[in-house]
Structure 1
């Protein structure tokens, strides 16, 4: 009976480890996509023939690749930043007071609660 209990606890630990690994791999994949989109936005906007169509194309791509994804360009003291935000379900609070982790600043602006963010600074 003791051996069955030890096996059950070990199996539950292994399952929890696999779930954590899968969740972190998905989060890393989303951060990678966001960094790729931010880099592309920075290149598109800093090009000599830049226009709003390029930014809108990358916004739609962010919305396609990331849950609740959005791309924008913000200006901070003479330097521009390409910012990509997306919904991070595991960070979203269940209630208004249920925020465990404060959002990290992203591009000089606090990211809204429940959103993850990647910012890439560039000069036009």
Structure 2
């Protein structure tokens, strides 16, 4: 019995490819792997930025509360102590303070920040960030809210 011509043409075509389909599969797998790594990196960056935004939001909320509380002089120091305690609970190494300069005061909240950027000891950038007229320590983030007394 004789085989149909279709099978002999298919066998001839398969032997003519000679492994090129294996290279195509390897390239496809490499492309998928690189794409997956890119997506994972984007997700990690998004999660890190969401955490940083959450910390900034908490610090801004605390600074606003301090500004509102210190408008009443009799409650000012007790409220500052209370919100400073909240800052240390809600933020990593959090601290709250009020700086005064004449009729304008600034509620300042600082906390330790985790950064992927070079530190001040690396010789790149300033050693401290300005925050409410005072330099914040290196490796920390700061929110300052100015208000009239």
The TM-score, its normalising length taken from structure 2, stands at: 0.75
Aligned to 1:97, the other structure's residue is in SS state helix
Large movers: runs of 4+ above 4 Å = 91-94
Aligned residues: 123
Higher helix share: 2
Determine if the alignment matches structure 1 residue 5 to structure 2 residue 37: no
State which of 89, 94, 98 in structure 2 corresponds to 1:69.
Answer: 94
Distance in 2 separating the partners of 1:74 and 1:92 = 29
Q: Conserved in 2, the CA contact under 8 Å of 1:68 and 1:87? A: yes
In the other structure, the counterpart of 1:104 is 129
* Higher RCO (C-alpha under 8 Å, 6+ residues apart): 1
Q: Conserved in 2, the CA contact under 8 Å of 1:59 and 1:70? A: yes
Shift of 1:114: 0.5
In the other structure, the counterpart of 1:120 is 145
The TM-score, its normalising length taken from structure 1, stands at: 0.89
Shift of 1:76: 2.6
Q: What stretches of structure 1 of length at least 5 have no aligned partner?
A: none
- Greater gyration radius: 2
Distance in 1 separating the partners of 2:46 and 2:66 = 30
Aligned to 2:122, the other structure's residue is in SS state coil
Q: What stretches of structure 2 of length at least 5 have no aligned partner?
A: 1-25
Aligned to 1:32, the other structure's residue is in SS state helix
Alpha-carbon RMSD across the aligned residues, in angstroms, is 1.9
Distance in 1 separating the partners of 2:65 and 2:125 = 29
Shift of 1:108: 1.2
Shift of 1:112: 1.0
